[in-house]
Amino acid sequence: MQGFIIGQDYGHRIKEFQEAMGRWVQEGKIHYREQITDGLENAPEALIGLLEGRNFGKVVIRVASDNK
């Protein structure tokens, strides 16, 4: 599999991409996945997992909750 960067390779079509992708996500045609790890103390293990290919989707380290 080979990837590409939208802004770098197709920067001239970025607005078209953002509109279409936003619409597809809202319509349920495109789904995204996140792997959320809670706590900065767990970040090293999450990042090692990322480097070893144990993750799925976007890896997020949550260091604080939204509740204040």
Residue ranges covered by each domain of the chain: 1-31, 32-68
pLDDT, position 17: 87
Contact 59, 43 (CB under 8 A): no
Average pLDDT of 38-59? Answer: 93
pLDDT, position 64: 87
Beta bridge partners of 38: 62
Q: What is the value of pTM for the model shown?
A: 0.57
**Taking the mean position of all CA atoms in its chain, how far away is CA 18?**
15
